[in-house]
Amino acid sequence: MLPLEGIKVISLEQAVAAPFASRQLADLGARVIKIERPGSGDFARDYDETVNGMSSHFVWLNRSKESLTLNIKSDDGKKIFKELLSDADILIQNLAPGAVERLGFDNEELHAINDQLIICHISGYGSEGAYAKKKAYDLIIQADSGLLSITGTDDFPSKAGISVADIAAGMYAYSGVLSSLIKRSKTKKGTVLDISMLEALGEWMGYPMYYSVYGNKQPKRTGAEHATIYPYGPFPVKYDDMVFFAIQNEREWKNFCEHILEDLELATDERFNMNSKRVDNKEQLQPIIESALIKRSAEEVLSLLEENKIANAQLNTMKQFFEHPQLMKRNRWFDMETPVGPIKSLLPPVLQSKDELNLTPIPEIGEQSESILQELGWDGEQIEQLRNNHII
């Protein structure tokens, strides 16, 4: 039995945050009914066409779901929505701020329909306050949360290469829903979650926030290096290659000096015998490290680092990650069906094998509309009329 078998999720979702949360619930066995706009569907379907004609975002976020197209602004659409919610366990939505309430479905009305419903709202800034109606996308939240101020180089801030604000919100929605299911098993009542992207990403900003507010200095933008630990980051080696490694404690620093730099006296040098001193005196230490490493190949440096239990890596491309030997050794890849044929997908980190995964193909727009409506008691003639009226 899958962990969430028997759990029904209705998701008014688009883009990344809500689909990421609901996909993880689907992975664990929940039945997820994804409500999409008639005709166009989730706009993330059209972000690109790189996966054999499908959007890379959509493929990533929408396996094992059922797609129901529904115009909830219409009277029949609202009626169907209420019917869906009447025996649902979870509602997830990340429509524009206030959209669900304008449709007549505030929290009170939703709990009047089903008092055991777990309601999960995902928005940029939350449901209250001066920013409640402000539009938000991932870049906007990366800027507003301060992430951009510490990411990039001295010359220019850079956004993270993935949608970290959306992903953070989706993860907290996912974990919040799971904890709410446990709570409901005790109280027999539903609850309301109000997940904001700003607060979700803000939780991840804890260390630089404390460092800045209580240390009275802004962390520097240091590219792939670390603002408060050294050595930590990329270093040039022979043949114009680059290696990455991180020294996290004084034991590792001593090993590094003795076996890689071959200069044990550096370990106790008053300029470098504590991490904070190494950070402060980076301009003196960096050329010493680089002059020792540049004589060796990347393979030799990585081998020495590994022998001395110092964390290390080379910079992988996405294709190299796709072919990572550790993922292959641990059988983390499986074949996933899509409307354009099978593609490779990674197992969710919490699962150990494909047998633990609820897996059905990525749906076409509205692929399950008719079967879902039939379950609700709508007959073929009524369904055809809904389709002709552009309600589904």
- Give yes or no for a contact between 113 and 85, defined as CB atoms under 8 angstroms apart: yes
Q: What are the φ and ψ backbone dihedral angles of 14, each rounded to 5 degrees? A: -155, 160
Residue 76 has pLDDT above 90, yes or no: yes
**What are the tens digits of pLDDT across the range 337-387?**
888 889 999 999 989 888 899 999 999 999 999 999 999 999 999 999 999
**What are the tens digits of pLDDT across the range 16-71?**
999 999 999 999 999 999 999 999 999 999 999 999 999 999 999 999 999 999 99
**What are the tens digits of pLDDT across the range 91-127?**
999 999 899 999 999 999 999 999 999 999 999 999 9
Instruction: Specify the DSSP element, H or E, that contains 244.
Output: strand 242-246
Fold exhibited by the domain 232-313: formyl-coa transferase, domain 3 (3.30.1540)
In a 13 Å sphere around the CA of 204, the CA atoms on its Cβ side amount to 19
Please state the pTM of the whole predicted model: 0.90
Residue 1 has pLDDT above 90, yes or no: no
* Residue 347 amino acid letter: L
Q: What is the pLDDT of residue 340?
A: 87
**What are the tens digits of pLDDT across the range 221-268?**
988 989 889 999 999 999 999 999 999 999 999 999 999 999 999 999
Instruction: Say how far apart CA 359 and CA 122 lie, in whole Å.
Output: 25
Q: What is the pLDDT of residue 257?
A: 96
Domain ranges, ordered by start, for the chain: 8-204+328-388, 232-313
Output the six-digit token pair for 150: 């510490």
Average pLDDT over residues 264-277: 95
Q: What is the pLDDT of residue 308?
A: 94
| Per-residue confidence band for 332, with pLDDT thresholds at 50, 70 and 90 | very high
* Residue 151 amino acid letter: T
Pick the catalytic residue from 57, 111, 121, 226. 226
Q: Look-up: residue for tokens 């800027």?
A: 143
Instruction: Say how far apart CA 253 and CA 120 lie, in whole Å.
Output: 47
Residue 278 has pLDDT above 90, yes or no: yes
The verdict on whether 57 is a catalytic residue reads no
- How does the average pLDDT of the chain come out, rounded? 95
Degrees, nearest 5: CA angle 92-332-325 = 140
Closest by alpha carbon to 23, among 83, 92, 110? 92
Going by their DSSP bridges, the two strands 8-12 and 90-93 should be labelled as: parallel
Residue count of the chain: 392
Instruction: Say how far apart CA 164 and CA 161 lie, in whole Å.
Output: 8
E-only strand ranges, 30-117: 31-36, 65-69, 90-93
Average pLDDT over residues 129-136: 92
Output the six-digit token pair for 296: 């060796």
**What are the tens digits of pLDDT across the range 142-168?**
999 999 999 999 899 999 999 999 999
Fold exhibited by the domain 8-204+328-388: Rossmann fold (3.40.50)
